[in-house]
Chains A and B, each alone.
Chain A
Amino acid sequence: MKIIQTTKLTKAFDGFIALKDFDLTVEEGTIYGLIGPNGAGKTTAIRTMLGLLLPTSGTATILGTPLKNIKKVIHHIGYMPQDLSLATELTIFENILFFGRLYGMKKRDIQTRTEELLKLVELEKFGDRLIEACSGGMRRRASLACSLVHDPPLLFLDEPTVGVDPDLRASFWQYFRELTEKQGKTIVLTTHYLTESEQCDIIGLLKDGMLAREGAPRDLKMEIPNGRALKVRAPNMVAIIIKEVQDELGLYSQADGDFAVIKFTGDFDITRILEIVQRHTQTYGMELIEPTMDEVFSHFTSSKGTTKVAANQKEFHE
């Protein structure tokens, strides 16, 4: 079931196009990651889909409701903005209570829910702490808890893991997976941590306000020409292996000391490479190298299709 569908959604600010012809389909029970550097249009896309920004053109349907009527289904949506967006003079618990009340929840239900949420975001000991006394990471966690208080079927999370330490990030992702796989919820999130974007079911690569490409991370990796590589350790045999692999399989390879690095595309049958290796040695080591998400992003967003990371995109690499 399609939870979100946008058609040529465009948002311009004073002539600057922040989002252009944005076509997005998000299926129920998936994590959809919008990936891109700062200014790519990730936040604009989320705010437009939430009805916080009026689209310049295009249409969208959210939870089966046209975007212009989004208030009718907004109680089924959780939103964690990129900014702090919490009342700093209130405690973590009071903030969660406040948002629960805005969603029409009863105080007793919120209290029960708060206990679960504080445990999830590892803040169970800090419920009474004022937001202004919390660290950046704690604030992000409290903000996530506020967006989950009403247990919504659809979640928009704008950079949910920024400023959160790696261990907790891992547990966030585990929870996101649990929400989608076990509870059938749908999550649309943005991140500029490319490595963690691999945990999304589908990623959309945004550049200059346009969706350059979307797909499952693994599928996108498969599509990169010569993106995958088999690194074979075969001392003294590297040159001959490289030559035969090139002659017989037409694969591009290169030597790296005692290693032959043989590049191939997608689901190429690597047993064919191993047959050649085994002709020359039975004692070899090997490692399958997958393209990084950096390379995936660069490939699909650079105009030349090169796998080299562009200098201006480095800032959003982890």
Chain B
Amino acid sequence: MEFSWHRVLAIMKKNLTALKRDRRTIGLIVFLPIMMMLVFGYAFGTDVRNVRVIICNLDNKSISSKGYTLLSGDNRVYLMENVTTVAEGLDKVHSPGLLSGAWALIVFPVNFTMSFTTPPLKPVELYVDGSNPQIVAAVVGAVTSMLVNLSGNVKPLYNVTYKYGNKDYRPVDNMAPGILGFTVMIFMLLLSIVFNVRERLSGMAERMNATPTRRMEVVLGNLLGYSLIAVLQTSLLLLIVKLLFNVAIVGDILYVFLMLFIFAINVLSLGLFLSAFAKNEQQAFQFIPLIIIPSVLLSGFVFPIDGFPDWLKPVSYILPMTYIIIILRKNMLAGLGLESVWLEFLVLVGMTVLFLLLAAVVYNRQKR
């Protein structure tokens, strides 16, 4: 038979009709690009902003006060707190999590104002959490601008002390925790969503429902099976990251492994829950970008959350990926353990339990 445009048009029409009736896909096609453009726009369109810093003004005279005013007008930094001693401020310098934490402490030394008239000029002291080079650059930039403004043409004078990390940290060191989390997330989501939908479509899930098996038993059975794969994958990932790229792991590799494993369980539970809402494998696949894209863009993996507008930040804090990144970064780059991220850890575990319960509730539920 000869080539026929009638057949081509018939196929095109068939696909469009099917698409028209698949509201979820249409929603995805419309919603996802809007969300992506907004996030890319906000994240890429501006430099890092609102980096949380603490000020310790030991001078308290005219020039340091002017410096303070200049800093508060600079949108690269957000002056979250004033402290009276350096020690008090240093305590709070660790990459911010849910509860507290600032990226840097800026100290105006004693007699700072006087040193402008009676040299030598006293340098501003900067204590930074250096785990994110982008952030350090923003803080240094804000301090430099302030000093240039205060002293005219005199070369700005400041000292940077790295409380965590060092100036040799490469972007890959800062990205590694996110890359680990992202890799675990994408494969665990795929695994749990696709396998679960397949099990349901084959009738196996319903058949199991006609046995004494309880839904929580099915969910846990699936979860434990997949989590063994997660153990294998996580071990491999860590080996590659450490041996091949020699990524900084200041903390404890076993701790990193455990946290990644908990994150894997979290994602698997989420996948099991979401799969209940997919009628077929095609719909199941649609969940993957829906979870992955916000997780990549909004979790602090690529762009610091501090730079997002306030209305977007709550979205970051409902993503499990945000928490694993905070937990991993603090350990891998600053050597900080559970004592500094107990709230983030609890949120992650709480989300896991919630997803697990939801998965059990909706798993192959009795059809109404």
Contacts and interface: CB of A to CB of B under 8 A. Distances in A.
Interface of A: 47, 50-54, 71, 74-75, 77, 79, 81-88, 99, 102-104
A121 B366 CA distance: 31
19 contacts: A52-B206, A52-B209, A54-B368, A74-B210, A74-B211, A75-B211, A77-B210, A79-B210, A81-B203, A81-B206, A81-B207, A82-B203, A85-B202, A85-B206, A86-B202, A86-B204, A87-B204, A88-B202, A104-B212
A71 B209 CA distance: 9
B208 interface: yes
Given A52-B206, A85-B206, A87-B204, A102 B367 contact: no
Nearest to A76: B212
Interface in B194-221: 202-204, 206-213
Contacts of A87: 204
B202 A103 contact: no
Given A84-B202, A86-B202, A99-B211, 9 more contacts: A51-B366, A52-B209, A53-B366, A54-B367, A75-B211, A81-B206, A81-B210, A103-B211, A103-B212
Given A52-B366, A52-B367, A85 B211 contact: no
B212 A83 contact: no
Contacts of A85: 202-204, 206-207
B212 A52 contact: no
B226 to A, nearest CB: 15
B203 A84 contact: yes
Contacts, number: 49
A194 to B, nearest CB: 25
Contacts of A52: 206, 209-210, 366-367
B225 to A, nearest CB: 12
Given A53-B366, A54-B368, A102 B206 contact: no
Interface of B: 202-204, 206-213, 366-368
Nearest to B218: A102
Contacts of B206: 47, 52, 81, 85
Nearest to A87: B204
Nearest to B204: A85
A74 B202 contact: no
Nearest to B367: A53
Contacts of A79: 207, 210
A74 B204 contact: no
Point out which of A50, A81, A102, A104 has the most chain B C-beta atoms below 10 A from its C-beta.
A102
A75 B212 CA distance: 6
Nearest to A13: B367
Instruction: List the 7 shortest-distance A-B pairs measured between CB atoms, nearest first.
Output: A83-B203, A85-B203, A85-B207, A79-B210, A102-B211, A75-B212, A54-B366
Of B209, B210, B212, chain A has the most CB atoms within 10 Å of the CB of B210
B207 A71 contact: no
Contacts of B213: 102
Nearest to A146: B207
A83 B367 contact: no
Contacts of B202: 83-86, 88
B126 to A, nearest CB: 59
A84 to B, nearest CB: 6
A102 B204 contact: no
A1 to B, nearest CB: 22
B203 to A, nearest CB: 3
B36 to A, nearest CB: 35
Given A51-B366, A52-B366, A54-B367, A102 B203 contact: no
Contacts of A81: 203, 206-207, 210
A294 B202 CA distance: 32
A129 to B, nearest CB: 18
Nearest to A82: B203
Nearest to B208: A102
B358 to A, nearest CB: 20
A45 B368 CA distance: 14
Contacts of A84: 202-203
Contacts of B210: 50-52, 74, 77, 79, 81
A276 B341 CA distance: 103
A139 B367 CA distance: 26
Contacts of A99: 211
A77 B211 CA distance: 8
Most chain A CB within 10 A, of B204, B208, B211, is at B211
